[in-house]
Amino acid sequence: MRHEGDERRAGRPAGHHEHADHKVTVDGARDVLKDHGMRYSRPREIILTYLLEKDRHVSAESLYLDLKGRGEELSLSTVYLNLSALAGAGLVREFRGATGQALYDSNVTPHYHVVCADTGEVRDVPAPLVNGVPLGRFLKEYVERETGWTVDEPRFSLTGKPPVGRAGGASED
Ligand SMILES: [Zn+2]
Protein backbone atom coordinates (compact mmCIF):
# COMPACT_ATOMS: atom_id res chain seq x y z
CA MET A 1 0.00 0.00 0.00
CA ARG A 2 1.48 3.33 -1.01
CA HIS A 3 0.71 6.72 0.36
CA GLU A 4 2.01 9.18 -2.17
CA GLY A 5 0.27 12.04 -0.42
CA ASP A 6 2.38 11.60 2.69
CA GLU A 7 5.64 13.00 1.41
CA ARG A 8 5.27 16.12 3.50
CA ARG A 9 8.43 15.72 5.50
CA ALA A 10 11.03 18.21 4.39
CA GLY A 11 14.16 16.69 3.00
CA ARG A 12 12.63 13.33 2.34
CA PRO A 13 12.94 12.49 -1.31
CA ALA A 14 9.58 12.07 -2.99
CA GLY A 15 8.80 8.49 -3.82
CA HIS A 16 11.25 7.14 -1.27
CA HIS A 17 9.81 4.39 0.87
CA GLU A 18 11.47 2.31 3.50
CA HIS A 19 10.86 -1.39 3.32
CA ALA A 20 11.48 -4.07 5.85
CA ASP A 21 14.47 -5.32 3.87
CA HIS A 22 16.30 -2.05 4.18
CA LYS A 23 17.47 0.10 7.00
CA VAL A 24 14.97 2.59 8.22
CA THR A 25 15.98 5.95 9.61
CA VAL A 26 15.27 7.60 12.93
CA ASP A 27 14.09 10.66 11.13
CA GLY A 28 11.38 8.72 9.36
CA ALA A 29 9.95 6.85 12.38
CA ARG A 30 6.51 8.36 12.01
CA ASP A 31 6.41 7.78 8.27
CA VAL A 32 7.72 4.27 8.72
CA LEU A 33 4.85 3.46 11.06
CA LYS A 34 2.40 4.90 8.59
CA ASP A 35 3.96 3.05 5.67
CA HIS A 36 3.43 -0.17 7.58
CA GLY A 37 -0.18 0.62 8.27
CA MET A 38 0.45 1.16 11.97
CA ARG A 39 -1.39 3.72 13.93
CA TYR A 40 0.96 6.42 15.13
CA SER A 41 1.36 6.72 18.86
CA ARG A 42 3.93 8.50 20.95
CA PRO A 43 5.18 5.28 22.64
CA ARG A 44 5.66 3.66 19.24
CA GLU A 45 7.61 6.60 17.96
CA ILE A 46 9.79 6.71 21.09
CA ILE A 47 10.54 3.00 20.93
CA LEU A 48 11.14 2.92 17.20
CA THR A 49 13.38 5.97 17.32
CA TYR A 50 15.42 4.40 20.10
CA LEU A 51 15.80 1.16 18.16
CA LEU A 52 16.81 2.92 14.98
CA GLU A 53 19.52 5.07 16.53
CA LYS A 54 21.97 2.27 15.81
CA ASP A 55 21.96 -1.49 15.43
CA ARG A 56 20.63 -2.72 18.73
CA HIS A 57 19.95 -6.08 20.26
CA VAL A 58 17.93 -5.43 23.36
CA SER A 59 15.48 -7.10 25.68
CA ALA A 60 12.20 -5.39 26.47
CA GLU A 61 13.46 -4.84 30.02
CA SER A 62 16.71 -3.14 29.03
CA LEU A 63 14.92 -1.00 26.49
CA TYR A 64 12.43 -0.01 29.16
CA LEU A 65 15.22 0.90 31.59
CA ASP A 66 17.15 2.90 28.99
CA LEU A 67 14.06 4.88 28.08
CA LYS A 68 13.28 5.44 31.71
CA GLY A 69 16.82 6.76 32.19
CA ARG A 70 16.06 9.28 29.47
CA GLY A 71 13.00 10.44 31.31
CA GLU A 72 10.44 8.68 29.14
CA GLU A 73 7.46 7.51 31.14
CA LEU A 74 6.50 4.28 29.45
CA SER A 75 5.38 1.26 31.43
CA LEU A 76 7.05 -2.08 30.87
CA SER A 77 3.81 -3.53 29.54
CA THR A 78 3.52 -0.66 27.04
CA VAL A 79 7.04 -1.47 25.90
CA TYR A 80 6.17 -5.16 25.50
CA LEU A 81 2.99 -4.49 23.57
CA ASN A 82 4.58 -2.02 21.22
CA LEU A 83 7.67 -4.11 20.58
CA SER A 84 5.50 -6.99 19.58
CA ALA A 85 3.43 -4.74 17.31
CA LEU A 86 6.60 -3.38 15.70
CA ALA A 87 7.91 -6.91 15.23
CA GLY A 88 4.60 -7.92 13.65
CA ALA A 89 5.01 -5.12 11.14
CA GLY A 90 8.57 -6.23 10.34
CA LEU A 91 10.13 -3.07 11.73
CA VAL A 92 12.14 -4.91 14.35
CA ARG A 93 13.02 -8.56 14.49
CA GLU A 94 12.53 -10.74 17.51
CA PHE A 95 15.18 -13.36 18.17
CA ARG A 96 16.47 -15.53 21.00
CA GLY A 97 19.57 -14.54 22.93
CA ALA A 98 22.22 -16.82 24.42
CA THR A 99 19.98 -17.97 27.27
CA GLY A 100 16.83 -18.18 25.20
CA GLN A 101 15.46 -14.81 26.25
CA ALA A 102 13.53 -12.74 23.71
CA LEU A 103 15.62 -9.93 22.24
CA TYR A 104 14.75 -7.33 19.66
CA ASP A 105 16.94 -6.42 16.74
CA SER A 106 16.74 -3.10 14.95
CA ASN A 107 18.66 -4.48 11.99
CA VAL A 108 16.10 -6.12 9.73
CA THR A 109 18.42 -6.66 6.77
CA PRO A 110 19.27 -10.33 6.09
CA HIS A 111 21.94 -11.17 8.64
CA TYR A 112 22.87 -13.71 11.24
CA HIS A 113 24.20 -13.55 14.75
CA VAL A 114 27.23 -14.75 16.57
CA VAL A 115 26.58 -14.72 20.28
CA CYS A 116 29.35 -14.84 22.86
CA ALA A 117 28.81 -17.89 25.02
CA ASP A 118 30.20 -16.03 28.06
CA THR A 119 28.83 -12.51 27.90
CA GLY A 120 25.83 -12.82 25.59
CA GLU A 121 27.32 -10.13 23.37
CA VAL A 122 25.65 -10.26 19.96
CA ARG A 123 27.38 -9.44 16.72
CA ASP A 124 25.73 -9.11 13.32
CA VAL A 125 27.13 -10.97 10.35
CA PRO A 126 25.73 -10.14 6.91
CA ALA A 127 24.07 -13.15 5.31
CA PRO A 128 26.40 -14.84 2.83
CA LEU A 129 24.88 -15.34 -0.59
CA VAL A 130 24.40 -18.73 -2.16
CA ASN A 131 23.45 -18.61 -5.83
CA GLY A 132 22.67 -14.93 -5.32
CA VAL A 133 20.23 -15.31 -2.43
CA PRO A 134 20.88 -15.09 1.33
CA LEU A 135 21.89 -18.44 2.80
CA GLY A 136 18.72 -18.80 4.90
CA ARG A 137 16.43 -18.14 1.96
CA PHE A 138 18.45 -20.52 -0.18
CA LEU A 139 17.97 -23.23 2.44
CA LYS A 140 14.26 -22.48 2.76
CA GLU A 141 13.71 -22.71 -0.99
CA TYR A 142 15.81 -25.84 -1.23
CA VAL A 143 13.81 -27.60 1.49
CA GLU A 144 10.54 -26.48 -0.07
CA ARG A 145 11.57 -27.90 -3.43
CA GLU A 146 12.64 -31.15 -1.84
CA THR A 147 9.62 -31.65 0.41
CA GLY A 148 6.76 -29.60 -0.96
CA TRP A 149 6.41 -28.11 2.51
CA THR A 150 6.13 -24.42 3.17
CA VAL A 151 8.89 -23.59 5.63
CA ASP A 152 9.99 -20.49 7.49
CA GLU A 153 13.23 -18.85 6.54
CA PRO A 154 15.80 -19.91 9.14
CA ARG A 155 17.67 -17.27 11.10
CA PHE A 156 21.01 -18.47 12.21
CA SER A 157 22.41 -17.73 15.59
CA LEU A 158 25.82 -19.21 16.26
CA THR A 159 27.44 -19.22 19.66
CA GLY A 160 31.17 -18.70 20.04
CA LYS A 161 33.87 -16.54 21.53
CA PRO A 162 35.21 -13.23 20.26
CA PRO A 163 38.92 -12.99 19.35
CA VAL A 164 41.25 -13.00 22.35
CA GLY A 165 43.08 -9.78 23.13
CA ARG A 166 40.56 -7.64 21.34
CA ALA A 167 41.17 -4.05 22.40
CA GLY A 168 38.39 -2.10 24.03
CA GLY A 169 36.18 -5.02 24.97
CA ALA A 170 32.64 -5.38 23.76
CA SER A 171 31.56 -3.11 21.00
CA GLU A 172 28.58 -3.39 18.73
CA ASP A 173 29.63 -0.67 16.40
ZN1 LIG B 1 21.22 -8.44 14.56
pLDDT digits (tens, 9 = 90+) for 59-73: 999 999 999 999 998
Q: How many angstroms does the Cα of residue 74 sit away from the middle of ligand 1?
A: 24
Among 94, 109, 124, give the residue marking a domain's end: 109
- Expressed in angstroms and rounded, the spacing between residue 123 Cα and the centre of ligand 1 is 7
Give the Cα separation of 107 and 122 in Å (integer).
12
Residues 104 and 48 in one domain: yes
Q: What is the CATH number of the domain that holds 51?
A: 1.10.10.10
Sequence-ordered alpha helix ranges (H) in 14-172: 29-35, 42-52, 60-69, 76-88, 135-147
The reply to whether 102 and 64 lie within a common domain is yes
Domain that holds residue 31: 19-109
- Tens of pLDDT, residues 4-16: 443 343 443 443 4
Do 79 and 152 lie in a common domain? no
120 C-alpha to ligand 1 centroid (Å): 13
94 and 135 share one domain: no
Q: What is the pTM of this model?
A: 0.68
- Strands 133-134 and 129-130, by their bridges, are antiparallel
Q: Choose one of 109, 127, 146: the last residue of a domain.
A: 109
Query: Based on the domain organization, do 65 and 117 belong to the same domain?
Result: no
